[in-house]
Amino acid sequence: MGIVLNTAFVVIEAGYGIAVGSMALVADAGHNLSDVLSLFIAWGASVLVTRPPRGRFTYGFKSSSILAALGNAALLMVALGAILVESLRRLWQPEAVAPGPVMVVAGIGIVINICTALLFMRGSEHDLNVRGAYLHMMADAGVSAGVVVAGLLIAATGWTWIDPVTSLIIVAVIAVGTWGLARDSLKLGLQAVPPGIDLDAVAQHLGALPGVAKVHDLHVWPMSTTETALTAHLIMPGGSPGDAFLATLAQGLEEAFDIGHATIQIETDDCGGCTLDV
């Protein structure tokens, strides 16, 4: 639904933007087009993560959602660069703009973008891939509102330079959000500890378990934008307490830290002075 709504709007907005000479509308349409492509990427990733492990892909294709988030950020950067160049050209060579159609089309954009954002709102809290789509749609709604204001100012003053200046503001606003998405997706791509998980707290949680004397070689990393894995070595001088202990441990990690894939190695010795590996 999000793809269909935004594709239709891109065609309408770009067509009117070119017809009335509004760079602000064209800039917004260009960003919406990148959002359509990002929705396709996010959709493809959401399908791939459901594929079961096979062959050399022992984790399946879960990390494709991380690549999709990173790809969406890169795609937005390219679109912003193109819009920036044209906006600067229009700033030095202003062209006549018809404010009426600009405001009408941008107003339609506000409605479409908010409706699309609501489709992704629920999943945006736990999935970076979905959050990227949600943020794009909300940013687009704000951008469209800015275009409406620009149309009003042009109608009131006749100052055509307001249009390219508005598009430059649009670029700046989108760049800020894109940087956050790029930063978070790059961290996940480098297998950093996912946001919201305190590695020290995880180590303390494991170290406080009955019979555990020490924790070392602790690693926490994202398998996808929604799933987190953990490996750790627990020194238990009394030996492994059995499967029930491991089952309770796994349940505790999932409830406390949303870590759903835990692999634990039980050791009885200090292994020569191993330390917590962070």
Asked if residue 155 has pLDDT above 80, the reply is yes
Torsion over CA: 181, 124, 62, 232 (sign): positive
Q: Do domains 2-189 and 199-267 have the same CATH topology?
A: no
| Contact call for residues 87 and 23 (beta carbons, < 8 A) | yes
Domains of the chain by residue range? 2-189, 199-267
| Contact call for residues 225 and 65 (beta carbons, < 8 A) | yes
Q: Specify the pLDDT at position 8.
A: 86
User: Tens of pLDDT along 52-81?
Assistant: 888 888 878 878 878 887 887 787 787 778
Q: How confident is the model at residue 221 (pLDDT cuts 50, 70, 90)?
A: very high
pTM for this structure? 0.66
- CATH architecture of the domain covering 199-267: 2-Layer Sandwich (3.30)
Asked if residue 222 has pLDDT above 80, the reply is yes
Cα end-to-end distance, the chain, whole Å = 43
The single-letter DSSP state of residue 54 is B
Strand order in the sheet with 261-267: 214-222, 228-235, 261-267
Q: Specify the pLDDT at position 198.
A: 92
Q: Specify the pLDDT at position 17.
A: 79
Pairing of strands 261-267, 228-235: parallel
2-189 CATH: 1.20.1510.10
Q: How confident is the model at residue 19 (pLDDT cuts 50, 70, 90)?
A: confident
